[in-house]
């Protein structure tokens, strides 16, 4: 068999393992078997790290990550894992809560690599700046929820499987201008952090290219819960749109609440926030003209695929609760991509896995695609995951548009 055919057979096998389980395990009761004791003894484990905020502000993004990886771990292992040569490998997820602390993030990243011997790390939102230097030093593949855009040849093991903020803002505001061409003044209210300020820089570039006006961004401390003093002077500048990206979801909801109570009726953009959290914090009556953008479709979306719908059913079956399902799907697909690359590479050697990531198309619950980004960042380490815009109507997210990044967007 030729090398290319062998690679294709490994890819197909990995895809079938991961997709067939999701598509066929949606009957009543948990039908996916657990690994037998014999198989467990014979198998070796690929340690996968999840380093995210699992408590306090940020947990609404960290817990979906953990759930997505945990569900994949169960399904993948129950299906028998993958073989490298004659050796069977299963997945072992090791998760840590950074508790929102930068110092603890660095400590735990070192622990994952030097003590837990992980081959792959998912680092939660805003953490890639802290973890990338460590994972690069030890040649460990790092996937992070991308904010500032650290992709470069200097970080060859850093991959973005989710749309980075540059692409997100570009797609969102291109679309907004087609829908609301008269909305030209944008106010950005975001976290005072390296990543929040990077988002402000991206917004400056995007709005300028679209002949829009970005009012001087407002950067608030991480401890902020009272946004009335923050918004009062900002609203005097008559923004048409308030952008809340770059902070935690709960704070975006508090911004919505304060803006509406101060009389603002314009558009407000919130990133990846669960509708139940948005309603409980901001209040259902304050959600007219509020748009949410996330990396997964709502279960009611007309664009949802059979595989995506089956995942949601499987998630509820496994966890007994739909909470976080619409974000957890993103992290299930992260694990799909990594294990497919290992299967293609037939190795856990980081450089061989990276070569597989660069040179192959990967099939996930969202469809098939390959990494890109060379023309802008010098590495093909950005996966073209879709972005979904929803509008809040009567306290529910209503699917509005699916946006898919393409290489021409970064030219």
pLDDT of residue 149: 66
Segment-wise mean pLDDT, segments of 10 residues, the chain, 411 residues: 45 43 32 36 91 89 95 97 96 96 96 98 88 96 80 93 89 95 97 86 93 96 95 97 90 97 97 88 96 83 86 96 91 97 98 98 93 93 91 92 88 67
Beta strands in 42-193 (DSSP E): 44-52, 82-84, 87-97, 120-123, 141-144, 158-159, 185-191
Do 125 and 61 form a contact (C-beta atoms < 8 A)? Answer: yes
pTM for this one?
0.85
Domain 165-294 annotated CATH 3.40.50.1000: no
Ramachandran category for residue 337: left, alpha or beta (phi over 0 → left; psi -120 to 50 → alpha): alpha
Neighbouring residues of 374: CB distance < 8 A, sequence distance ≥ 6: 380
3-state helix, strand, coil in the chain (%, to 5): 45, 20, 35
Counts of helices then strands in the chain (DSSP H, E): 14, 15
- 133: CB partners within 8 A, 6+ apart: none
Domain ranges of the chain: 3-163+300-386, 165-294
Same fold, 3-163+300-386 and 165-294: yes
CATH superfamily of this structure's domain 3-163+300-386: Response regulator (3.40.50.2300)
Neighbours of 41 (CB within 10 A): 8
Two structure tokens written together for 338: 């990594």
Distance CA(395)–CA(389), nearest Å, equals 15
């Amino acid at each position: 068999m030729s090398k290319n055919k062998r690679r294709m057979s490994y890819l197909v096998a990995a895809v079938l393992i991961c997709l067939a389980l999701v598509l066929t395990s949606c009957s009543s009761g948990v039908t996916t078997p657990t690994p037998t004791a014999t198989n467990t003894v014979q198998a070796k484990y690929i340690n996968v790290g999840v380093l995210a905020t699992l408590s306090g502000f940020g947990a609404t993004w960290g817990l979906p990550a953990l759930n997505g990886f945990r569900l994949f771990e169960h399904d993948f292992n129950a299906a028998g894992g993958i073989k490298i040569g004659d050796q069977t490998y299963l997945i072992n997820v090791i998760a840590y809560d950074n508790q929102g602390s930068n110092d603890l993030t660095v400590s735990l990243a070192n622990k994952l690599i030097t003590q837990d011997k992980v081959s792959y790390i998912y680092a939660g939102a805003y953490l890639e700046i802290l973890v990338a230097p460590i994972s690069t030093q030890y040649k460990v593949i790092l996937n992070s929820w991308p904010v500032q855009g650290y992709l470069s040849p200097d970080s060859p093991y850093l991959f973005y499987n989710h749309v980075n903020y540059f692409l997100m803002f570009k797609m969102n505001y291109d679309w907004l201008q087609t829908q609301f061409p008269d909305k030209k003044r944008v106010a950005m209210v975001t976290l005072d952090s390296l990543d929040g300020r990077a988002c402000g820089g991206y917004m400056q570039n995007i709005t300028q290219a679209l002949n829009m006006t970005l009012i001087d961004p407002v950067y608030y401390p991480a401890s902020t819960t009272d946004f009335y003093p923050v918004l009062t002077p900002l609203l005097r500048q008559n923004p048409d749109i308030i952008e809340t990206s770059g902070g935690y979801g709960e704070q975006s909801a508090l911004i919505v609440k304060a803006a509406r109570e101060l009389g603002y009726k314009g558009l407000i953009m919130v990133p990846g926030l669960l509708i139940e959290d948005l309603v409980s914090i901001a209040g259902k009556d304050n959600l007219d003209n509020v748009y949410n953008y996330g990396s997964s479709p709502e279960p009611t979306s007309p664009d949802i695929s059979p595989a995506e719908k089956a995942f949601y059913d499987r998630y509820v079956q496994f966890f007994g609760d739909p909470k976080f399902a619409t974000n957890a799907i993103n992290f299930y697909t992260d694990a799909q991509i990594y294990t497919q690359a290992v299967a293609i590479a037939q190795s856990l050697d980081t450089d061989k896995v990276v070569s597989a990531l660069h040179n192959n198309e990967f099939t996930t619950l969202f469809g098939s695609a390959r990494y890109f980004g060379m023309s802008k960042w010098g590495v093909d380490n950005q996966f073209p995951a879709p972005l979904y815009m929803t509008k809040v109507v009567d306290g529910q997210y209503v699917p509005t548009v699916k946006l898919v990044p393409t290489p021409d967007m970064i030219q």
